[in-house]
Structure 1
């Protein structure tokens, strides 16, 4: 490879970029991106969620100068966090992993094109605060591209378990023997209550019905914890419904456990490159408090993933203890932050250096969404 590649790439901002285009599909398929940069996911995020969240698209597009072919896409948004003008990955609380959409080789070439790097840094300004959260371990060094300080730990991990075939072999290796016995006992208890069934939704009606049930299960649970649930908000319910329906058979998979024909548990996830990534779950805790239906649903989901040939069951971000019960191993998550103004420097200082004002600083930079602003919705 050349020592530098100055002049190889052209950089532009294309906020009307078509994520459903053939050129983006080809770029994505040959990139180091995750399911959260999938064409359908980003198309729905920009077109459904961004307007309702008062977030403005900031799509950085890099092309080869000689041919005009697409080389990289950096899907960002401009948002107001209180008085702070922030630039972030296109997330809006629904994505777990963020990476530039390009291959590792192209990214390396791009870093050697000093002119292209300068153009990217110039075009994304102005901002008070650059915040790139949810960076997976070992992925493309976005901070080098943006001229930002080194990444720091988010203080949380993502968890995934390697799937092996057959299911019984994976189960024996991933789950503690005593936990295997416990779940087998819970399953027997559950089967005595009625006709138990586990399936993957395969049409629009079953998907919408399951999501409505999930919404009902999740509302009281998250409200009791003092925060809100994204699924209760029409724009988010529409987003997840749209992805689940349009992604049926490709990007999305929705598992349901039923008792006598009624949904008692559900898990929504994304499929990409042999990975199944859990993004949302809901269980009838009140009706089946002692049967561990959450764990049983994940166990059955793992079985189905193995039968489909998946290699990874990814529980995504969060340090919930149940993930380790399924043999999931932690992977650190990273963040990159950079101030772009005096106000940004003050907010960044507060978040990093002054614990006594950190809660106030965090509140100041909290994303404000229309309606129900007092709550902080979570998945």
Structure 2
């Protein structure tokens, strides 16, 4: 294929408007994920990034002939201890990371040697380039950045294919004995009071559910020693803002109640016939014996099927319950590149003994942020 050295213009635009019409159109036609949605990135850059003292590093690619937006690479400059890192706009809230463009446009960009060279120059200097949570290699970002080949992560994402009617999905995805057990638990739960399961439809119900989620998750994850993002005001504000602004389109917040009291919540994103679960919380203390988590996931699957969704995505993490609901693993990969001697030392240390890896991780962690962890069943 012939190289094209004048097809694209590349620049850094740290004031880029993710709520603009041109970005909405780019995202709609792109092969990006839900975590590059206009509302998601707008909230991340406007709320989380300032709170975490992370600086925008937004790479914008335009067609030179027309000026049309061709691609966006949403990056951040983050100081992690002594390390200057460049990474995707994530800050521990995004599960899948990708350039915002089509696979075809990405391939065209790779053929523009001058544009690639300019892009690589613009994102420097850095000690470490960190690009985790990559789903597939259709857009080989390592080639774009002249970085080492991607490597497999030590975790997977899981998704289950939904089929209508709900009973057919149950038969396909769940073990017969498990289906029987959940039916028994559901009957037990119904005897405890007036049981409802619904999707929030207004700001009041969203905030009620968010507060309940925060309450349920706090003690549970504190006991596990890894903390919970929702207990941090800036993260609670981020998730609440996305839920409120995405109401009825991009975001769904499911709530299970007994006698009007919230006992379970599931926050997720709606994207291209898929529902991606972000965060869950259950009243384990009150309903553990009823397998409240498992029953909630089953109700979410039913609600998704009723809406016509084709996939229920449990996102990243190897929790056993995901396989119980027919979740199939998909590999996750990452790209890491050293940009200095300090970065090279850090990369070397990460490949060595586990205790060294943990020491370097602690050194590089940004304000000791807790990892967003899903609640098992």
TM-score after normalising by structure 2: 0.97
Residues 1-379 of structure 1: matches in 2 within 5 Å?
3-368=2-367, 373=368, 376-379=370-373
SS in 2 for 1:94: coil
Task: State how far apart, in whole Å, the 2-side matches of 1:258 and 1:162 are.
Answer: 27
SS in 1 for 2:286: coil
Q: How many residues align?
A: 373
Change (3 A) 1:356 1:94: closer
- Contact in 2 for aligned 1:283/1:293 (Cα 8 Å): yes
Task: State how far apart, in whole Å, the 1-side matches of 2:276 and 2:2 are.
Answer: 38
SS in 1 for 2:126: coil
- For each residue in 1:91-144, what CA deviation from the matched residue of structure 2 results, as whole angstroms up to 9, or x when unmatched? 001000000000010000000000011011000000000000000134411101
SS in 2 for 1:101: coil
- For each residue in 1:43-82, what CA deviation from the matched residue of structure 2 results, as whole angstroms up to 9, or x when unmatched? 0000000000010000000000111100000000000111
- Contact in 2 for aligned 1:99/1:139 (Cα 8 Å): no
SS in 1 for 2:304: helix
SS in 2 for 1:51: helix
SS in 2 for 1:287: helix
SS in 2 for 1:290: helix
Task: State how far apart, in whole Å, the 2-side matches of 1:365 and 1:352 are.
Answer: 15
Gaps of 5+ in 1: none
Task: State how far apart, in whole Å, the 2-side matches of 1:150 and 1:52 are.
Answer: 32
Shift of residue 337, structure 1, vs aligned partner: 0.2
Task: State how far apart, in whole Å, the 2-side matches of 1:268 and 1:149 are.
Answer: 35
Task: State how far apart, in whole Å, the 2-side matches of 1:188 and 1:336 are.
Answer: 48
- Contact in 2 for aligned 1:134/1:334 (Cα 8 Å): yes
Task: State how far apart, in whole Å, the 1-side matches of 2:179 and 2:118 are.
Answer: 55
SS in 2 for 1:359: helix
- Contact in 2 for aligned 1:59/1:75 (Cα 8 Å): yes
Shift of residue 359, structure 1, vs aligned partner: 1.5
Superposition CA RMSD, Å: 1.0
Shift of residue 289, structure 1, vs aligned partner: 1.3
Shift of residue 3, structure 1, vs aligned partner: 2.0
Gaps of 5+ in 2: none
SS in 1 for 2:351: helix
- Contact in 2 for aligned 1:4/1:109 (Cα 8 Å): no
Shift of residue 5, structure 1, vs aligned partner: 1.9
SS in 1 for 2:289: coil
TM-score after normalising by structure 1: 0.97
Shift of residue 324, structure 1, vs aligned partner: 0.3
- Contact in 2 for aligned 1:64/1:70 (Cα 8 Å): yes
Shift of residue 378, structure 1, vs aligned partner: 2.5
Shift of residue 354, structure 1, vs aligned partner: 4.2
SS in 2 for 1:88: strand
Task: State how far apart, in whole Å, the 2-side matches of 1:348 and 1:361 are.
Answer: 9
Task: State how far apart, in whole Å, the 2-side matches of 1:355 and 1:93 are.
Answer: 22
